[in-house]
């Protein structure tokens, strides 16, 4: 192992230990269910905004988008825009209303005026499904990152293992670490880690952006031009169309599918955020709705600035590292940003030591990013299993808070295990792309139910369960039968082909299905909506009366 | 009331209604003209704004798919329409967030605050 590599790994481990320390410290302050699920509702709008931003600036943004832009140019930018604009749905329609009407989770709001058990069960299923998709994206990112750090490459053995085995081992290791975080720390621990990590990530990104721009004398046009040239695709690199909406000469159907796929992706991105369970629970970690609004505003600011920087990072990587070098390490491009850090370090800090240091720092921050997000996701889904399903459905409310927390911790363990296994199969896929699938599932399964519940007087239990299961099933099934799972080289099972759904993102079909099912389920059921309960929900959600 | 199984207050969505507020008092508040004002104030902003930004975003996506030539037109050096259009989405995003924040604190918060006090004081003074 070279000195540079050893240095990288040591710095990296120090970082991980620090975040673990924070988690343990936070665990000392976790005394009850409100602490575990909602961090004691003690975070300010700014702190929570940082935490939400941190949650959002996950592997998908930092590693995935930079990678997509580095390999395919402009098309990666669509992800940035979609992921950001999605926050308007959360800000305008969801954040405050949700905070006022619930206690810990999205299901609290859905079950407010509907029948508890079926709705909470559906919500738990949906939360866990979305979280698993999102989780496996993060694990893939972590696997790619650690493989890069350790120097695991195709065609070489590592510590006597083949590269594939080594990559599997890294994924398992990440999973284990994550479980420790959640089981010990709960919401307080994960929130503090998010805040610290968000700060460091912003600093790292700012540093890299400044270095990239100064390499081109702060001339954006030159940066773009060099990137386009080095990519070998010329001016097309700066235009939409290299990755999405490809025109296939002579094949009108495939061209049409490609364009629809682009639109499907766009819809999934913009509607997914407000349906993500691990984002929704962060609206409950603040004292009131106004603070929830402030957190979203802060988050929008942070995330917006961050995505502008990924533009520079992605094109910078294309210009300074080159698509070929990136693909050699990871075909999906997930390592573009760290490789850029290494190149910038070599150039500005001095030789390969400089490269090693900057790589270590950026990789450590990226890794902490992933760990924190993974912890947040696992927390959201284990909370759902414990609070929504176990406490309310199985035990019908007859549990103590201590029991709930124990179940939450066990659930975290199991969900993590499932995600690890799936991540092993999904290694060849780009992280931003995988997250977009999670977004599609969230937008199809959760968003219709949440919106109908808040705004439609007539909405019934049948409508809610139909919306959730209908949206969820259609999204998951369409993904299963798409080229993502089988039938293409990067698929999860590349040697098989059972796909018939031509799009790589199901959004454009499954999201309308979710809304349709919610509507149909309501109008066809004989259950009549409870007027008094809806009045209570409306008054509480708009005024904040009786909020926890 | 609703068909739910009776559950003790703790895990359900709300703690027991503020003392003195009978559930039907919520109905009374909901039907009051003041609450109608609040509801209208909220919906008349968020619904049109959501539709507007959605259409603006959809335009961006559709043009990325079908109007490649136009999107590729260079403006300054290597900076083309596509990039500017994308950056405009960022700008409109920040603008809308700022507009909402102002609207909410000026128009919605005072109304909501008054109504909340009314509910929590036991639904009296209706």
SS3 state of residue B76? strand
Asked if the Cβ–Cβ distance from B1 to A240 is below 8 Å, we say no
The whole-number pLDDT of residue A87 equals 93
Please tell me if residue B34 touches chain A, with a CB cutoff of 8 Å: no
**For chain A, how long is the longest CA-to-CA vector?**
73
Instruction: Report the length, in residues, of chain B.
Output: 126
Angle between helices B109-120 and B33-66 (to 10 degrees): 140
Q: Is the pLDDT of residue B11 over 50?
A: no
Identify the CA nearest to B85 among candidates B49, B51, B60.
Answer: B60
Residue B89 to residue A81, Cβ atoms within 8 A: yes
Residues 6+ apart with CB under 8 A from A239: A73, A74, B68, B71, B72, B80, B82
| Residue position matching structure tokens 């590349």 | A494
Whether A65 contacts A314, CB under 8 Å: yes
Q: Are A33 and A280 in contact, with CB atoms under 8 Å apart?
A: no
Three-state DSSP class for B8?
coil
- From the list A94, A96, A430, A37, the residue with the least C-alpha distance to A292 is A96
What is the complex's ipTM, to 2 decimals?
0.86
A222 in contact with B at a CB cutoff of 8 Å? Answer: yes
Give dist(CA A91, CA B53) in Å, integer: 13
User: How many other C-beta atoms can be found within 10 angstroms of the C-beta atom of residue A499?
Assistant: 17
Of A114, A461, A532, the CB nearest to B27: A532
Is the CB of A221 less than 8 angstroms away from the CB of B77?
A: yes
Place of tokens 């399964």: A445
Nearest CA in chain B to A266: B61
What is the average per-residue pLDDT within B101-121?
A: 89
Cross-chain residue pair A397–B94, CB shorter than 8 Å:
no
Q: Are the Cβ atoms of A93 and B50 closer than 8 angstroms?
A: yes
Q: In this complex, is the C-beta atom of B30 within 8 Å of any C-beta atom belonging to chain A?
A: yes
pLDDT tens digits along A453-505: 999 988 999 999 999 999 999 999 999 999 888 888 778 888 888 889 999 99
**pLDDT tens digit sequence for B16-53:** 444 445 677 788 888 889 899 999 999 999 999 999 99
pTM of the entire structure?
0.86
* Residue in chain B lying closest to A97 (CA): B42
Rg from Cα positions in chain A: 23
Question: Which chain A positions have a beta carbon within 8 Å of B113's beta carbon?
Answer: 543
Gap between the Cα atoms of A166 and A169, Å rounded: 5
Whether B25 has its CB under 8 Å from any CB of chain A: the answer is: no
The whole-number pLDDT of residue A170 equals: 79
Instruction: Identify the pLDDT of residue B2.
Output: 38
Interface of B with A in 37-66 (CB under 8 A): 38-39, 42, 45-46, 49-50, 53-54, 57-58, 60-62, 64-66
pLDDT in 10s for each residue of chain A, 548 residues: 567 778 777 877 887 788 778 777 776 766 666 666 666 777 788 888 888 888 888 777 888 899 999 999 898 999 999 999 999 999 999 999 988 887 777 888 888 888 888 998 999 899 889 988 898 888 888 888 888 877 776 666 666 777 777 778 878 887 777 777 766 766 677 777 778 888 888 888 999 999 999 999 998 889 999 998 888 888 888 888 888 878 888 888 888 888 899 999 999 999 999 999 888 888 888 888 898 899 999 999 999 999 999 999 999 999 999 888 888 888 888 889 999 999 998 888 888 888 888 888 888 888 877 877 887 788 788 878 887 777 777 777 666 777 777 887 788 888 888 888 888 888 888 888 888 999 999 999 999 999 999 999 889 999 999 999 999 999 999 999 998 888 887 788 888 888 899 999 999 999 999 999 999 999 998 888 788 888 888 888 898 887 77
Q: Is residue A530 within 8 angstroms of chain B, CB to CB?
A: yes
pLDDT at A201: 86
pLDDT of res. B123: 57
Confidence band, pLDDT 50/70/90 cuts, at residue B10: very low
Note the pLDDT of residue A37.
66
Residues 502-521 of A with CB under 8 A from B: none
Chain B nearest-CA residue for A455: B43
Q: Report the residue of A245, A532, A545, A547 to disrupt the B interface, i.e. the one with the largest count of B CBs within 10 Å.
A: A545
B6: closest chain A residue by CA: A396
| Average pLDDT along chain B | 81
Give the model's confidence band at B9: pLDDT under 50 very low, under 70 low, under 90 confident, else very high. Answer: very low
CB-CB neighbors (< 8 A) of B82 in chain A: 74, 238-240
Cβ contact (<8 Å) for B116 and A544? yes
């Amino acid at each position: 192992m070279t000195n540079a590599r050893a240095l990288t790994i040591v710095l990296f481990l120090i970082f991980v230990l620090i975040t673990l320390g924070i988690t343990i410290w936070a665990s000392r302050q976790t005394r009850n269910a409100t602490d575990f699920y909602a961090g004691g509702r003690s975070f300010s709008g700014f702190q929570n905004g940082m935490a939400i931003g941190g949650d959002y600036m996950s592997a998908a943004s930092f590693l995935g988008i930079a990678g997509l832009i580095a390999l395919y140019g402009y098309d990666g930018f669509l992800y940035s825009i979609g992921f950001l604009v999605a926050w308007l749905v959360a800000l305008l329609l969801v954040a405050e209303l949700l905070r006022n009407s619930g206690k810990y989770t999205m299901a609290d709001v859905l079950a407010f005026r509907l029948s508890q058990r079926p709705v909470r069960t559906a919500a738990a299923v949906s939360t866990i499904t979305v979280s698993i998709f999102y989780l496996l994206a993060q694990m893939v990112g972590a696997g790619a990152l650690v493989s890069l750090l350790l120097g695991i490459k195709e065609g070489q053995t590592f510590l006597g293992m083949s590269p594939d085995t080594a990559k599997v081992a890294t994924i398992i290791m990440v999973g284990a670490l994550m479980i420790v975080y959640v089981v010990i720390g709960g919401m307080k621990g994960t929130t503090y880690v998010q805040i610290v990590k968000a700060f460091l990530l912003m600093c790292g990104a700012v540093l890299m952006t400044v270095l990239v721009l100064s390499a081109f004398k702060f001339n954006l046009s030159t940066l773009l031009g060099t990137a386009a040239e080095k990519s070998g695709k010329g001016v097309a690199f700066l235009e939409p169309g290299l990755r999405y909406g490809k025109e296939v000469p002579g094949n009108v159907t495939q061209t049409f599918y490609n364009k629809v796929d682009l639109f499907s992706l766009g819809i999934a991105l913009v509607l997914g955020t407000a349906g993500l369970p691990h984002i929704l629970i962060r609206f409950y970690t603040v004292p009131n709705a106004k603070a929830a609004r402030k957190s979203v505003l802060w988050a929008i600011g942070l995330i917006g600035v961050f995505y502008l920087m990924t533009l520079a990072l992605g094109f910078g990587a294309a210009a300074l590292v080159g698509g070929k070098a990136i693909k050699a390490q990871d075909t999906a491009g997930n390592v573009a940003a760290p490789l850029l850090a290494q190149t910038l370090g070599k150039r500005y800090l001095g030789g390969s030591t400089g490269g090693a240091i900057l790589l270590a720092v950026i990789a450590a921050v990226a890794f902490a990013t992933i760990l924190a997000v993974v912890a947040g996701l696992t927390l959201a889904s284990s909370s759902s299993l414990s609070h929504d399903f176990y406490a309310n459905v199985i035990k019908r409310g007859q549990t103590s808070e201590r029991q709930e927390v124990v179940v939450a911790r066990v659930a975290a363990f199991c969900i993590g295990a499932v995600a690890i296994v799936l991540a092993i199969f999904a290694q060849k896929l780009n992280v931003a792309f995988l997250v977009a699938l999670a977004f599609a599932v969230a937008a199809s399964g959760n968003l219709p139910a949440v919106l109908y519940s808040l705004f439609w007087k007539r909405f019934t239990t049948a409508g809610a369960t139909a919306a959730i299961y209908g949206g969820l099933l259609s999204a998951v099934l369409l993904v299963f039968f798409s080229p993502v799972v089988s039938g293409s080289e990067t698929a999860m099972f590349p040697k098989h082909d059972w796909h018939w759904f031509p799009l790589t993102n199901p959004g454009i079909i499954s999201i309308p299905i979710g809304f349709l099912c919610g509507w149909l389920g309501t109008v066809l059921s004989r259950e009549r909506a409870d007027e008094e309960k809806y009045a209570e929900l409306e008054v509480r959600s708009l005024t904040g009366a009786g909020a926890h | 009331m609703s068909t739910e199984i009776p559950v003790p207050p703790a895990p359900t969505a709300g703690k027991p209604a503020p003392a003195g507020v009978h559930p039907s008092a919520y109905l009374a508040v909901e039907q009051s003209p003041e609450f109608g004002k609040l509801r209208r104030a909220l919906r008349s902003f968020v619904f049109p704004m959501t539709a507007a930004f959605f259409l603006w975003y959809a335009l961006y996506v559709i043009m990325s798919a079908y109007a490649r030539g136009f999107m590729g037109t260079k403006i300054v050096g290597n900076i083309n329409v596509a990039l500017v259009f994308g950056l405009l989405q960022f700008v409109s995003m920040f603008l809308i967030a700022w507009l909402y924040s102002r609207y909410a604190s000026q128009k919605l918060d005072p109304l909501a605050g008054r109504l909340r006090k009314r509910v929590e004081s036991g639904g009296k003074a209706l």
